[in-house]
Amino acid sequence: MQFGGGSWQNKMECRSPRVSKGVTPIVDCQTFPDGRVSAPGFKMTKPKFVTDREQLEKLAPMLKAPIKRQVFVCTGKSCNAVGAQDVKAEFTRILEEKGLRQGKESKGRNPMGEVILTECSSIGFCSVGTAVMVYPDGTLYGQVMAEDVAEIVEEHLEKGKVVGRLALMELSEPAA
Ligand code: FES
């Protein structure tokens, strides 16, 4: 049984966990070198901050890939109800067939692929799904069906042309 939620707190606020009859806390508050104290009963490991680029690239090989775009496919509840899994499967199939999807070779992907395919949850297009977002372009597509995917890949991801009939929003450039 664990106590506390693992949140950071000041030393002054560190209290013993509430102990029920016959239950012993796993750990007490832990003090880290920077003075912060973990919540009681929650064993935390401080993540190591890696600065060496070579080591970072070993840990995250995608850092070496010539990534141009990231495609998010929403598989939230409402999008799933209108075929999001088929949309995701079609992106997977086409991007992998074309060698565009970055990832491990052992998973049928290309370590030097230009596109990252990511599944995400709701972005607010729930009534007009399936939602697909393309970054860094900032294009938000709605009502995407599996049969639209080839066009998005060919026109947008390969030629850089937004598919106007499906694009519901273009995010504006953030202010400098
Ligand atoms: S569930 Fe996909 S946008 Fe909300």
pLDDT of residue 47: 84
C-alpha 102/C-alpha 97 separation (Å) is 12
The model carries a pTM of: 0.74
- Token output for 86: 């088929």
pLDDT tens-digit profile, the chain (176 residues) = 333 444 444 444 455 555 455 444 455 666 667 777 666 665 667 889 999 999 999 999 999 999 999 999 999 999 999 999 999 999 999 999 999 999 999 999 999 999 999 999 999 999 999 999 999 999 999 999 999 999 999 999 999 999 999 999 999 887 77
- Which residues lie below 8 Å from residue 135, measured CB to CB, with a gap of 6+? 69, 70, 71, 72
Residue where the block lists tokens 């860094």: 136
CATH of 66-170, one of 3.30.390.50, 3.40.30.10, 3.40.50.300, 3.40.1190.10: 3.40.30.10
Q: Please, are residues 92 and 117 in contact by the beta-carbon 8 Å criterion? A: yes
Within 8 A by CB and 6+ apart from 32, the residues are 38, 46
Report the half-sphere exposure of 117 (CA within 13 A, side-chain side): 25
Closest to 166 (Cα-Cα) out of 135, 144, 146? 144
**CA–centroid distance, residue 60 to ligand 1 (Å):** 29
Q: Which of 73, 79, 120 to mutate for ligand 1's pocket (most ligand atoms within 8 Å of CB)? A: 79
Identify whether the C-beta of residue 155 lies closer than 8 Å to the C-beta of residue 161: yes
Q: Is the link from the previous residue into 130 a cis peptide, with omega within 30 of 0?
A: yes
Paired residues of 139 in beta bridges = 134, 170
Our answer on whether the CB atom of 122 is closer than 6 Å to any ligand 1 atom is: yes
**Domain limits of the chain?**
66-170
Q: Look at residue 5 in the predicted model and tell me its pLDDT.
A: 42
pLDDT value for 39: 63
Of 78, 82, 132, the one to substitute when testing ligand 1's pocket (max ligand atoms within 8 A of C-beta) is 78
